[in-house]
Structure 1
Amino acid sequence: MASFVNLLFPYIKSYGKLIIFYVILSFLAKLLGISLPYFTGSYIDSLVEHIDINSIKVFSILLLILGLGNILANCVQSYIFVKLKTHISNDLKLFILKHISFIPISNLESKEPGYINHRINSDVNVIVAFILGNSFNVVINLLNIVLLLVICFRINDMLTIIILPLIPIYIMSYFFFKDKIYTLNYDMKEKENDAFSKTQHFLENMKSIKIKGAFEEYNEYIDKKLSNVLTSLLKYTRTSLQFASNKTLIKVVVQVILFYYGGKEIISGNLKIGQFTIMSNYFIMILDNLGFLYSVGEQYQNAKVSMDRILDILSINPEKNGSVLLENIENIELNNISFGYKGSNSEIKKFSYVFNRGNIYCIAGENGVGKSTLINLILGIYVEEFSGTILYNSLDIKKIDLYSTRSELIGVSEQEPKLTYMPSGTGKEHFKEELGVLLTALNVNKNLFDCEDTVMNVSGGEKLKISLIRALLKKPKILILDEPTSALDTVSIAKLKKILLDSKNDRITIIITHDEGFKDIADEIIEIKAM
């Protein structure tokens, strides 16, 4: 339970006043809920004793006030719960996403984005709902049970003593099932996330599937994943139903005892009809409160699964990022660099090179030989996972603040760019003249460049052009272009070459290309060969 508190306390604390109001309303709603059966039972006994019409009016007005108060308290409490749950869930999701953005990329490459996204959303919602819905209400329900038992004991101690031993039996059954529920629930969630991820992958690659005519193979694959979910769900459901059946059985036994011994007490004159009504309602409320605690136990196993999965993500250490801020980049020196992805041989082995400002470098080679990997190493994407040294201005890359360097000094245009919206305030309004030149040179409509829908609704070629413009607009000290000519016509290629030549003295320019015509502007050509 401590892990729940440690994770959520900062967010709960930030909404302290609203949470206090929520707890007060929860307690008030419980008190009003207790008062209604007591009031009703007292009214029945008063009727049996022949009260006058004025007393009936008073009872009716009080009943209306209590009922309306109970409705209002529950409605406001539910509204505040939704508001708090949404705020805290959003805050926690942002915290987790921020953490993910700083962990090594290699920790994410084995998981599909759809899986991670669904996992975070579902687990955060479960955790926050569990804490908000239960942490304070557990205390309130325990106090409620004690208060109800005291009232029942005062009304008829013998009947209360007969029923009381069933409460610990009710509690013990939870401990019998809790471990099995946890294990099955964990497995079910993993299967659900996996199926969600594979279904999202299917939808994202619909065009490729259509081209290949691979509908049947993909449908069989998805069907297998969904069948795994069903099998896991049914196992979990069987155990949950056994758990719930025990709860219902004990509730039935309590009602049978209450009706049998309560009826005998009424016949013997030790219990009034109204008092029997009060005790009947209160024991049902006690069982409901125990049922709530019972369900908290079941929900705890569910929430514990979600918490463990969130902690698995948060336990991944952030990648190392240095503290030195660079103002300029004169050269990049690679000395005996070796690197290979997990589970594969080295893709780059003992590679050395020096990139100097004022030069244009073309990196050439067959597909799959490590050209893009080399760029990722230069950018520090795998800063902890290579051997050798990479120096910026003779300074070890591991000592440099790479986040700041990439943001301020490096411009990259990828071969298959995934665009994000570039809102006002990000700098583009300061380069209106340069923007106009680039839009004309690459034949891009200005409205398309500014449009928020651009990230989703343009062709791959247009995305590449926009990516090129964004990289050039930064006026970076390192400019990296991956296959920049694949979406350009002959005229645009010529204009891009001129732009690169005119600005080459201000930066290090690195171009990955298969275009032989582009090599004529290169100062040096680097041939990467398969290891």
Structure 2
Amino acid sequence: MQHLKEPITKDKKGKVSIGKAFKTIIWPRRNLVFVGLILIVIRSLAGLILPWQSKVLLDEVVPNNNFDQLKILIIVVLCAILVQAVTSFLLTRILSVQAQYLISELRAQVQKKVLSLPISFFDNTKSGALVSRIMSDVEGVRNLIGTGLVQLVGGTITAIVSLVILINLNPWMTLFVFLPISIFGFVALKAFKFIRPIFRTRGKINAEVKGRLTETLAGVRVIKAFNAEEQENIVFEKGVDKLYQNVKKSLTATALMTSSSTFLIGVATTGIMGIGGYYMMQGEMTTGEFLFFTLILGFMIAPIVQMSNIGSQLTEALAGLDRTEELMNKAAEEDNEERNIELRNVKGEINFTDVSFSYEEGKEVLHDINFKVPAGSVTALVGSSGSGKSTIAGLSATFLNPKSGLITIDDQDMSKVKLASYRKNLGVVLQDEFLFEGTIKENILFPRPNASEEELQNAVKAAYVNEFTDRFDKGLDTLIGERGVKLSGGQRQRLAIARAILANPRILILDEATSSLDTESEALIQKSLSELIKDRTTIVIAHRLSTIKKADQILVIESGKIAERGTHEELIQAQGRYFDLYTYQSKI
């Protein structure tokens, strides 16, 4: 798609350039826009027939009692009305539909861009805010390619043609009208400059309010459990009031334009009545000419008044483009030119050399981490909460990048490896595993939608998912609700493990994979995990130390450093931190 492939140029204030917006959005659709302009010109010319024929009616047909000419006049006017109706339908059908298609294209492109951004971006951005930016910010763009822009250009053409006719009819009356209209144009331009930043801010406020609302709905059980409904109501009310204050500002500016146009046009109309009345009494203007002048004046003024409304729409569209471009200009994970190594035949040996990491400048979470995970082996990470275990797992999954040091996969620098070639060999089972709304079957098939029925059933049996789905009326076709709310914690975890088994990865990261399971379920899962990790490079984060006795190596992480390392037996004999943790858990 051409329109947003290249970043849209911005001016010094960070606004999208209208010239670049024209080049990237409108110009690729110039044929449709040109057709729209032709249709609107035809519609406008057809609209001039009625006032022209009204003059003929009063000055020629009625005074001469010419019934034959009256019939012709009526037929001409009816044909003009038919042309107006047909061109209006075609304008909507061609341009409005194309505008909606553009919106759908833009939404798809923005969503694609968002998914390409690094995990750190999502850690700092509310999902609800992103939904707003993907769905709402692009909507105003319909006015760039839809009837809005065409009406603006077509209205300008109509106003110019009408002005020429008016000057030919009576230049002095035209000059009198032109003065208040010029004042209105000046006021409108000033108002548009004031409105654009308001629309831009409105997009941000909208995103914040929707983001909070999404969180509220997702966490409704927590809210009710802590009787915090009133607290959430107050937060939301503050957000919508902030939005209201923003809308009030833009409405004030719009009202100023509307009222000024009403007043100035009223002044012009009153003046025309006086001047026109004088000319008719002097015999210098016929009644038909006066009516013709008045109607044509309406054709000149109407587009100008309409431009204030269309101008607001175009201003809103450009403000939405400003915010959309903020996303489109962000660097994607794969945009790094140094990532040019394509992994093939992955064995799965991971090596950390002097790796340090910090989420915030000057606050290191990991300090000079060194360890090796041989291909096909199991490495367990244990330690107290906040020690850095999940950060190591995130670095191993390429969700994070080290601030210093080197991580390699099969002796290849991970920072230079194409992410897709690594992640297709990666499987992850998280502590709070995410499930999509849909059926159990759809969630298991998520990593490999085209897997065979036999592969699906093998994964189901290996993770003991059938142990509970056999009790459901619809089995694997049972709907699980949003985030799997209709399943227990243990059932969700087994479903996630089945998904990982089906993915058949070379490298596996298990983050508290058995934390949500009861004793019976854990025993079942331990069997399935034994099958899952066989011949795979596995990194396990575990609080239940009984689950990692058979790990090839155990790393005890404390305060971002490796405090101890060894097998279960070696660490027990050392009677250090691991010994303390293990004996403490054994007593519970």
Aligned to 1:103: 117
Aligned to 1:311: 325
Aligned to 2:514: 485
CA separation of 1:434 and 1:218: change in aligned 2, threshold 3 A:
same
Answer yes or no: is 1:277 the counterpart of 2:306: no
Aligned to 1:429: 452
3-state DSSP class of the match of 1:255? helix
Aligned to 1:219: 233
Aligned to 1:394: 411
Following TM superposition, by how much is the alpha carbon of 1:433 offset from its aligned partner in structure 2, in angstroms? Answer: 4.7
- Do 2:514 and 2:522's aligned partners in 1 also have CA atoms closer than 8 Å? yes
Following TM superposition, by how much is the alpha carbon of 1:391 offset from its aligned partner in structure 2, in angstroms? Answer: 0.5
TM-score by length of 2: 0.82
* Letter aligned with residue 373 of structure 1: T
Aligned to 1:136: 150
- Do 1:330 and 1:356's aligned partners in 2 also have CA atoms closer than 8 Å? yes
TM-score by length of 1: 0.91
Aligned to 1:359: 377
CA separation of 1:8 and 1:150: change in aligned 2, threshold 3 A:
closer
Answer yes or no: is 1:528 the counterpart of 2:528: no
Following TM superposition, by how much is the alpha carbon of 1:219 offset from its aligned partner in structure 2, in angstroms? Answer: 1.8
Give, in whole Å, the separation in 2 of the partners of 1:300 and 1:86.
Answer: 16
Task: Choose the corresponding residue for 1:237, options 240, 251, 261.
Answer: 251
Aligned to 1:145: 159
Following TM superposition, by how much is the alpha carbon of 1:42 offset from its aligned partner in structure 2, in angstroms? Answer: 2.4
Following TM superposition, by how much is the alpha carbon of 1:246 offset from its aligned partner in structure 2, in angstroms? Answer: 1.8
Following TM superposition, by how much is the alpha carbon of 1:212 offset from its aligned partner in structure 2, in angstroms? Answer: 0.7
Give, in whole Å, the separation in 2 of the partners of 1:4 and 1:419.
Answer: 43
Answer yes or no: is 1:119 the counterpart of 2:133: yes
Task: Choose the corresponding residue for 2:542, options 510, 513, 517.
Answer: 513
- Do 2:463 and 2:528's aligned partners in 1 also have CA atoms closer than 8 Å? no
Following TM superposition, by how much is the alpha carbon of 1:74 offset from its aligned partner in structure 2, in angstroms? Answer: 1.0
Kindly tell me the number of residue pairs found equivalent between the two proteins. 529
Give, in whole Å, the separation in 1 of the partners of 2:354 and 2:405.
Answer: 5
Aligned to 1:410: 426
CA separation of 1:380 and 1:264: change in aligned 2, threshold 3 A:
same
3-state DSSP class of the match of 1:368? coil
* Letter aligned with residue 458 of structure 2: E
Following TM superposition, by how much is the alpha carbon of 1:21 offset from its aligned partner in structure 2, in angstroms? Answer: 3.6
Q: How does 1:336-347 map to 2 (within 5 A)?
A: 336-342=354-360, 345-347=363-365
- Do 1:103 and 1:318's aligned partners in 2 also have CA atoms closer than 8 Å? yes
- Kindly provide the CA deviation profile for residues 429-477 of structure 1, in whole angstroms up to 9, marking residues without a partner as x: 2624523423645635285655676655533623332221111111110
Give, in whole Å, the separation in 2 of the partners of 1:50 and 1:455.
Answer: 78
Following TM superposition, by how much is the alpha carbon of 1:410 offset from its aligned partner in structure 2, in angstroms? Answer: 0.5
- Do 1:11 and 1:92's aligned partners in 2 also have CA atoms closer than 8 Å? no
* Letter aligned with residue 414 of structure 1: L
Give, in whole Å, the separation in 2 of the partners of 1:354 and 1:345.
Answer: 25
- Do 1:174 and 1:243's aligned partners in 2 also have CA atoms closer than 8 Å? yes
3-state DSSP class of the match of 1:506? coil
Give, in whole Å, the separation in 1 of the partners of 2:488 and 2:40.
Answer: 54
- Do 2:26 and 2:144's aligned partners in 1 also have CA atoms closer than 8 Å? no
- Kindly provide the CA deviation profile for residues 142-200 of structure 1, in whole angstroms up to 9, marking residues without a partner as x: 22111111112222233223322333222222233333223333333333332222222
Give, in whole Å, the separation in 2 of the partners of 1:56 and 1:141.
Answer: 31
Aligned to 1:81: 95
- Do 1:173 and 1:243's aligned partners in 2 also have CA atoms closer than 8 Å? yes
Aligned to 1:228: 242
Aligned to 2:494: 465
3-state DSSP class of the match of 2:83? helix
Following TM superposition, by how much is the alpha carbon of 1:518 offset from its aligned partner in structure 2, in angstroms? Answer: 1.0
Give, in whole Å, the separation in 2 of the partners of 1:18 and 1:524.
Answer: 66
- Do 1:153 and 1:160's aligned partners in 2 also have CA atoms closer than 8 Å? yes
Aligned to 2:467: 443
CA separation of 1:503 and 1:465: change in aligned 2, threshold 3 A:
closer
Give, in whole Å, the separation in 2 of the partners of 1:189 and 1:149.
Answer: 39
Following TM superposition, by how much is the alpha carbon of 1:292 offset from its aligned partner in structure 2, in angstroms? Answer: 2.8
CA separation of 1:238 and 1:521: change in aligned 2, threshold 3 A:
same
- Kindly provide the CA deviation profile for residues 96-151 of structure 1, in whole angstroms up to 9, marking residues without a partner as x: 22222222332332221111221332221113324433433333222211111111
Q: Name whichever of 52-61 and 296-305 sits farther off.
A: 296-305
CA separation of 1:259 and 1:382: change in aligned 2, threshold 3 A:
same
Give, in whole Å, the separation in 2 of the partners of 1:125 and 1:344.
Answer: 41
Give, in whole Å, the separation in 2 of the partners of 1:495 and 1:153.
Answer: 91
Q: Name whichever of 465-474 and 517-526 sits farther off.
A: 517-526
Give, in whole Å, the separation in 2 of the partners of 1:14 and 1:419.
Answer: 40
Give, in whole Å, the separation in 2 of the partners of 1:176 and 1:117.
Answer: 33
Following TM superposition, by how much is the alpha carbon of 1:395 offset from its aligned partner in structure 2, in angstroms? Answer: 0.9
CA separation of 1:176 and 1:529: change in aligned 2, threshold 3 A:
same
- Kindly provide the CA deviation profile for residues 455-500 of structure 1, in whole angstroms up to 9, marking residues without a partner as x: 5553362333222111111111001122222344545433433333
CA separation of 1:348 and 1:332: change in aligned 2, threshold 3 A:
same
Give, in whole Å, the separation in 1 of the partners of 2:421 and 2:50.
Answer: 63
CA separation of 1:178 and 1:32: change in aligned 2, threshold 3 A:
same
CA separation of 1:191 and 1:27: change in aligned 2, threshold 3 A:
same
Aligned to 1:323: 340
3-state DSSP class of the match of 2:372? strand
Aligned to 1:162: 176
- Do 1:449 and 1:466's aligned partners in 2 also have CA atoms closer than 8 Å? no
Task: Tell me which protein shows more helix as a share of its residues.
Answer: 1
Aligned to 1:45: 59
3-state DSSP class of the match of 2:278? helix
- Do 1:442 and 1:492's aligned partners in 2 also have CA atoms closer than 8 Å? no
- Do 1:195 and 1:225's aligned partners in 2 also have CA atoms closer than 8 Å? yes
Structure 2: runs of 5 or more not aligned: 1-7, 10-16, 437-441, 561-588
- Do 1:38 and 1:278's aligned partners in 2 also have CA atoms closer than 8 Å? yes
- Do 2:257 and 2:308's aligned partners in 1 also have CA atoms closer than 8 Å? no
Q: Name whichever of 249-258 and 106-115 sits farther off.
A: 106-115
Following TM superposition, by how much is the alpha carbon of 1:397 offset from its aligned partner in structure 2, in angstroms? Answer: 0.6
- Do 1:348 and 1:370's aligned partners in 2 also have CA atoms closer than 8 Å? yes
- Do 1:44 and 1:274's aligned partners in 2 also have CA atoms closer than 8 Å? yes
* Letter aligned with residue 428 of structure 1: A
CA separation of 1:450 and 1:467: change in aligned 2, threshold 3 A:
farther
3-state DSSP class of the match of 2:136? helix
Answer yes or no: is 1:200 the counterpart of 2:214: yes
Aligned to 1:380: 398
3-state DSSP class of the match of 1:526? strand
Q: Name whichever of 349-358 and 33-42 sits farther off.
A: 33-42
3-state DSSP class of the match of 1:509? strand
- Do 2:341 and 2:417's aligned partners in 1 also have CA atoms closer than 8 Å? yes
Give, in whole Å, the separation in 2 of the partners of 1:267 and 1:174.
Answer: 37
3-state DSSP class of the match of 2:428? strand
